[in-house]
Amino acid sequence: MNYLELAKQVSKRAAAGGAEAEAIITHDVETQIKVSNGEVEQLSQSTARGIGVRVIDGGRTGYAYTSDFSDDGIEQTWRAALDLAKVATPDEYRALPDPRPISNEDLEIWDKNLVNVSAADKIDLLKRVERATLDYDPRIILADFCNYGDAISHVYLANSRGFAGEFGRTVAFSYLMGIARGEDGSMTNAFGLGASNFFNELDAEEIGREAGEKAVSILGGKPVETQVGTVVFDPFVGAQILGALAEALSAESWQKKRSFLLDRMGQQVGSDMVTLMDNGRLKRGLASAPFDAEGVPTSATRLVDEGVLQNLVYDSYSARKAGVQSTGNAQRFGHRSLPMLGPSNFYMQPGNLTRDEIIAGVDKGFYVISVMQTGGIDAVTGDCSMGANGLWIENGKIVGPVGGVTVATTLDGFLNNITAVGSDLKMIPMFGTIGVPTLRVDNVTIGGTK
């Protein structure tokens, strides 16, 4: 079946009465594997396909979807979207985007070999991930949540304004939590994670070792005295903070007055080491695509440039409201979902220092490896407070583990007190697709013993 041709026909039929119409078809094949103690606990593969039809008539939107690809099923779907549009509340900013040319640049997001990787090879990779964690140190007692997943996805999109396009994307990932127990019975845990568009780029030993090394390193952590000092954030921790920054830099958040950065366009909002990007065209980006969920070309948007707030991310709706051009940031979660504004590959531009060089430059401070209570990061108020475990630094050297403390700052303070940015940019697909290197942040409150 030619899905792109079908999407074109459906959008044309739904628009025959004068409304605007769009049809999206998604076709996904996903694999999930879970391993425990060298045994496969779960192995599943699912195939999903469906068509969603959006009709916009005088600013009124109707949306319907189905996985029934029979002629009757498809006709019922676009007719349902038309009927829903008739009774919807009009919104003057709702309309399909004007077509813009789509670059044919290869974004390197398609692994042609993934379809031929056997289930046995995927299981072997995951068993090696688990083994690398358990073998790291005898104090590692468990490799928990040991998972592998991949997705082979195709998107076909067409609308009545003349847009028609398709792309494929592959993603493979593995993660687990290493759990360590000390001689005193205390326990710690830490994540290891790897993700790529290409299966053969997953390094089982590196993923497993990361979980083991981090979990063991923070065993026996004790609180330090409460103080204001330097904190070095591991990329996995920094990504949780950047997730809130992505929210604060969304045009929708500004239009709803729900961002701590509100009305500061053109102003200095961070140190000159802070450059924040949203790049839907990042080569080998986990969220990269030639066009967004509405057919608008994706772009590399410099949001904060050397500390100065320069731009927000927009989809067609928020852009029309603001009188600007969409940055190509409409997202969807399959054919059941209407387009919504969201980040693509959102990341902090890396610097040129290694993690060890950043630590070597700290006289006294706290290297944060794992955090809890991440609900303590608020994109609206800018509050940021987390329970934390990690390592204490004295004279540029790690001297021992720290646990049972909190780190607290504001998102404003976080951005303005970044004094070193690492070269080790890591894209983490757990809070969106967020990329962050190791960061040094000064003037952070470390709450421990009085």
Buried b / exposed e along 377-394 (16+ C-beta atoms within 10 A): bbbbebebbbbbbbbbbe
Q: Supply the pLDDT for residue 430.
A: 79
Q: Supply the pLDDT for residue 432.
A: 80
Question: Over 70: is that where the pLDDT of 393 sits?
Answer: yes
Residues 333-373 pLDDT 10s: 999 999 999 999 999 999 999 999 999 999 999 999 999 86
Q: Supply the pLDDT for residue 372.
A: 87
Q: Which domains does the chain have, with CATH numbers?
A: 3-215 (3.30.2290.10), 220-242+350-447 (no CATH), 263-338 (no CATH)
- Mean pLDDT, to the nearest integer, of 436-444? 98
Residues composing the chain? 450
- Mean pLDDT, to the nearest integer, of 105-121? 98
- Mean pLDDT, to the nearest integer, of 399-421? 97
Distance CA 297, CA 293 (A): 10
Please give the backbone phi and psi of residue 312, each rounded to the nearest 5 degrees, phi first: -125, 170
Residue 363: both structure tokens together: 């006289």
- Mean pLDDT, to the nearest integer, of 6-18? 97
Q: Supply the pLDDT for residue 441.
A: 98
Distance CA 353, CA 359 (A): 10
> DSSP assignment, residue 250?
B
Residue 356, Cβ neighbours under 10 Å: how many? 13
- Mean pLDDT, to the nearest integer, of 190-194? 96
- Mean pLDDT, to the nearest integer, of 290-305? 98
What SS3 class is residue 128? Answer: helix
Lowest mean pLDDT among 54-68, 362-376, 399-413: 362-376
- Rounded to the nearest angstrom, the gap between the alpha carbon of residue 202 and the centroid of all alpha carbons in its chain is 18
Q: CA end-to-end span of the chain, whole Å?
A: 69
- Mean pLDDT, to the nearest integer, of 276-292? 98
Contacting residues for 120 by C-beta, under 8 A, at least 6 apart: none
Of all residues in the chain, the percent with pLDDT exceeding 70 is 99
Distance CA 433, CA 430 (A): 7
Question: Over 80: is that where the pLDDT of 374 sits?
Answer: no
Question: Over 60: is that where the pLDDT of 399 sits?
Answer: yes
Q: Which of 440, 265, 269 is nearest to 362 (CA)?
A: 440
The answer to whether 401 and 383 have CB atoms below 8 angstroms apart is no
Average pLDDT over all residues of the chain? 97
The answer to whether 306 and 300 have CB atoms below 8 angstroms apart is no
Question: Over 70: is that where the pLDDT of 375 sits?
Answer: no
Q: Supply the pLDDT for residue 52.
A: 98
